[in-house]
């Protein structure tokens, strides 16, 4: 990870784009910051006439007016601080909201293949934690640097005004402090980046523990999982200690250097008393020096916050810069009329050394049922996933009514396709909202028709609140067969001409499979259907059976033809029915 100033500038330049439209409020916040900051040096200046005129010379005008001026000064300070705090919180929350929405939008437009190599926990950690840390790089740092920077500048101006020679001693400390801060900043950036990685792993571990609780219990893997989680928490703890340690050393050393400078100033101030350096001047000088402690401490402490924020911002922007799924097509079709054609199609996963599909030639006519069969890993699901462009072909073309599917908009292509797979996914929502997912009309009559066609109406009416019953995370309150039938009802309601069934009955018991199979047959009527089948008994009536082996099509034909041919299909069939 780069640490140079140009990288920081680039990140800040990008961050400030999110504040377009909010510059008026940002300007007011900055003005309020400056006003609040200037009250400190002004207060220090007031101590000189208060002591010299009010106490030493006993002038009643000064003993009355200076306290009044101090009250007014702190009233202004309070109002300015409130305006600054309110507006910076308002603006930073808008910034985080915009970034999170952009990241969420990015997640939905990333290619499916990205999610094969990225854990959901780490992606969630980026959206929740890294996006939130941007405020550290943004407003927290700006507030401290601007507010405290102005305060320190104002106090230095007061010091120069009171005695420029004594003030030069203060400047001798600055080069030492800046070198120290730069060294610590580099270490903090590295530690913060490491911490983000640990947090992503922890989020993933928690997610897997919740999702896999049955496996953990049945295999008595408590200690194994606990040990892994313990190692993560320990790594985070050690990392936090290292961060705090580096920050503390920086702060303590800075304060020591300032204290040495202050001791020298007090010594020389005593010597200059004979040259007209009044008690008021000394108190004003001393209070200005002491008042510089806190802002300088915050400005040195801010390096940790800055590095955490910069690491978070870089992580977020690296994620936002990922390539989205290609959608350069401009054509749209209103109706699917003829066929889907695979022409010399090959496909290879990014991390694979060999093609996963090789030279596929296949025609799927409109209204026909085409079944893909073959042993596990033969390429059936990969081939089916190419139709809705979950993956893009490496070579060759897939044509829909003689139009390359890459020339169609993704929205238009997917509008014509419904999918029911063995990996059922339902939302923690009502039955009705799950069935009508993606259908904004939410027409109750159509939802009920779809549920009846999917053989789901009977069990849905027995639920506590019928179609308005919440079904839990991924339908956890329902059985496997019930969940599968809701997926079928969803596909029925979408009412598309093309249907992909990916081993939709493979994980069901006999009774549930019968119910689901009946629902699927109803769904398949008058649709162009691609069926990925493990149980050959479910696809004997298919119009075309395509036999796959090691990414190639090795046979295709009807059930009885393939059985007679004595090839791979017959071997698979005999294996299942022996």
According to DSSP, residue 499 is labeled: E
Q: Which uninterrupted H or E stretch holds 183?
A: helix 174-211
What pLDDT is recorded for position 5?
52
Per-residue confidence band for 503, with pLDDT thresholds at 50, 70 and 90 = confident
- Between the two ends of the chain, the Cα-to-Cα distance in Å is 60
| Token pair of 447 as six digits | 């939802």
**Helix, strand or coil for residue 324?**
coil
CA dihedral 173, 176, 180, 183 (to 10 degrees): 150
Give the tens place of pLDDT for each residue, 450-485: 888 888 888 888 888 888 888 887 777 888 778 888
What pLDDT is recorded for position 170?
66
From the list 334, 386, 325, the residue with the least C-alpha distance to 357 is 386
pLDDT at 362 over 80: yes
Distance CA 143, CA 26 (A): 11
Q: Looking at residues 523-534, what average pLDDT do you find?
A: 84
What pLDDT is recorded for position 246?
80
From the list 384, 388, 336, the residue with the least C-alpha distance to 530 is 384
Give the tens place of pLDDT for each residue, 37-78: 888 888 888 888 877 777 777 777 777 888 888 899 999 999
Distance CA 252, CA 184 (A): 12
Averaged confidence pLDDT in the chain: 81
Radius of gyration of the chain (CA): 35
**Helix, strand or coil for residue 544?**
strand
pLDDT higher for 378 or 4? 378
Highest-scoring range by mean pLDDT, 26-30, 267-271, 309-313: 26-30
Per-residue confidence band for 178, with pLDDT thresholds at 50, 70 and 90 = low
Q: Where are the alpha helices (DSSP H) in 50-59?
A: none
pLDDT at 340 over 50: yes
What pLDDT is recorded for position 2?
42
| Token pair of 123 as six digits | 């992606």
Per-residue confidence band for 177, with pLDDT thresholds at 50, 70 and 90 = low
pLDDT at 1 over 50: no
- For residue 345, the cross-strand partners are 360
Q: Which of 318-322, 343-347, 451-455, 549-553 has the lowest mean pLDDT?
A: 451-455
Block residue for tokens 């290619």: 111
Other residues' Cβ atoms within 10 Å of the Cβ of residue 172: 12
Percent of the chain with pLDDT over 90: 5
Domains and CATH numbers, the chain: 11-320 (1.20.1560.10), 339-577 (3.40.50.300)
Per-residue confidence band for 82, with pLDDT thresholds at 50, 70 and 90 = very high
Q: Where are the alpha helices (DSSP H) in 360-509?
A: 380-386, 410-415, 431-435, 444-453, 457-461, 480-494
Give the tens place of pLDDT for each residue, 258-281: 777 777 777 776 666 556 667 777
């Amino acid at each position: 990870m780069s640490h140079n100033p140009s990288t920081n500038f680039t990140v800040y330049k990008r961050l400030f784009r999110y504040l377009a439209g909010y510059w008026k409020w940002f300007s007011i916040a900055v003005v309020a910051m400056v006003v609040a900051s200037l009250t400190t040096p002004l207060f220090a200046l007031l101590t000189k006439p208060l002591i010299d005129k009010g106490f030493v010379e006993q002038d009643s005008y000064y003993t009355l007016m200076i306290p009044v001026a101090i009250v007014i000064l702190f009233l202004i300070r309070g109002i300015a601080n409130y305006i600054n705090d309110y507006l910076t919180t308002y603006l930073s929350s808008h910034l985080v909201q915009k970034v999170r929405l952009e990241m969420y939008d990015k997640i939905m437009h990333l290619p499916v293949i990205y999610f094969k190599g990225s854990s959901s926990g780490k992606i969630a950690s980026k959206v929740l934690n890294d996006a939130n840390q941007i405020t550290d790089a943004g407003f927290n740092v700006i507030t401290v640097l601007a507010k405290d920077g102005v305060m320190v500048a104002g106090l230095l101006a007061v010091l120069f005004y009171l005695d420029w020679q004594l003030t030069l001693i203060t400047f001798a400390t600055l080069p030492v402090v800046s070198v120290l801060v730069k060294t610590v900043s580099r270490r903090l950036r590295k530690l913060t980046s490491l911490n983000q990685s640990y947090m992503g792993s922890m989020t993933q571990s928690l997610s897997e523990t919740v999702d896999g609780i049955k496996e953990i219990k049945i295999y008595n893997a408590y200690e194994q999982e606990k040990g892994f989680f313990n190692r993560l928490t320990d790594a985070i703890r050690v990392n936090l200690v290292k961060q705090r340690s580096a920050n503390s050393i920086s702060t303590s050393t800075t304060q020591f250097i300032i204290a040495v400078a202050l001791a020298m100033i007090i010594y020389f101030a005593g010597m200059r008393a004979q040259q007209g350096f009044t008690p008021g001047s000394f108190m004003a000088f001393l209070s200005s020096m002491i008042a510089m402690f806190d802002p300088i401490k915050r400005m040195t402490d801010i390096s940790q916050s800055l590095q955490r924020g910069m690491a978070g911002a870089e992580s977020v922007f690296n994620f936002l810069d990922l390539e989205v799924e290609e959608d350069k097509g401009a054509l749209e079709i209103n109706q699917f009329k003829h066929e889907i054609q695979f022409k010399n199609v090959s496909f290879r996963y990014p991390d694979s050394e060999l093609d996963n599909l090789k030279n596929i030639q296949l025609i799927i006519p409109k209204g026909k049922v085409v079944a893909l069969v073959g042993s596990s890993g033969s390429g059936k699901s990969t081939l089916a996933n190419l139709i809705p462009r979950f993956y893009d072909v490496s070579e060759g073309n897939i044509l829909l009514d003689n139009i390359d599917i890459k020339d169609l908009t993704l929205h238009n292509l997917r509008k014509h396709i419904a999918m029911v797979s063995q990996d059922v996914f339902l939302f923690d929502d009502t039955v009705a909202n799950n069935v009508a997912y993606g259908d904004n009309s939410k027409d109750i009559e159509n939802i009920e028709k779809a549920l009846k066609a999917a053989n789901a109406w009977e069990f849905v009416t027995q639920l506590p609140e019928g179609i308005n019953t919440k079904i839990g995370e991924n339908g956890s309150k329902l059985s496997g067969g019930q969940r599968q039938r809701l997926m079928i009802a969803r596909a029925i309601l979408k009412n598309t001409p093309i249907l992909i069934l990916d081993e939709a009955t493979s994980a069901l018991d006999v009774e549930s499979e019968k119910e689901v199979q009946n629902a699927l047959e109803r769904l398949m009527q008058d649709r162009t259907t691609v069926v990925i089948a493990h149980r050959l008994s479910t696809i004997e009536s298919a119009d075309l059976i395509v036999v796959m082996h090691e990414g190639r099509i090795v046979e295709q034909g009807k059930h009885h033809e393939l059985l007679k041919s004595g090839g791979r299909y017959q071997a698979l069939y005999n294996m299942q029915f022996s």
